Amino acid sequence: MGVNMEELKEKVLAFATKKAAHKSKMYIKDLYKADPDASPRQIKKAANELVKEQKLEYFSSGSTVMYGVPGFGKGIEEAFEE
């Protein structure tokens, strides 16, 4: 699949930033919607690279990991409510 990683990262970041305004923590599954043509593996790769670049951040309960955009933060309890 000819997905360009840089483009995909931009899409994931734009999607996450937009979403962060009303839901500050998201599951990897939410991020799949950033680009329906990309495979789950490509999305997770893009998201993990964005974390390395400190444009996204991980939020972990210990059992599950969610992604957030630095600067957007809501309560921990809220994030883990389905």
Site residues for another protein per CB under 8 A: 27-29, 40-41, 44, 48, 51-52, 57-65, 68, 76-77, 79-80, 82
Least separation in angstroms between residue 7's CB and another protein is 21
Instruction: Decide whether 22 or 63 has the Cβ nearer to another protein.
Output: 63
Instruction: Decide whether 2 or 63 has the Cβ nearer to another protein.
Output: 63
CA-CA-CA-CA dihedral for 44, 60, 71, 10, to nearest 10: 0
Return all residues near 61 (Cβ < 8 A) that are at least 6 apart. Answer: 80
Least separation in angstroms between residue 20's CB and another protein is 14
Nearest to 17 by CA among 61, 66, 71, 74: 71
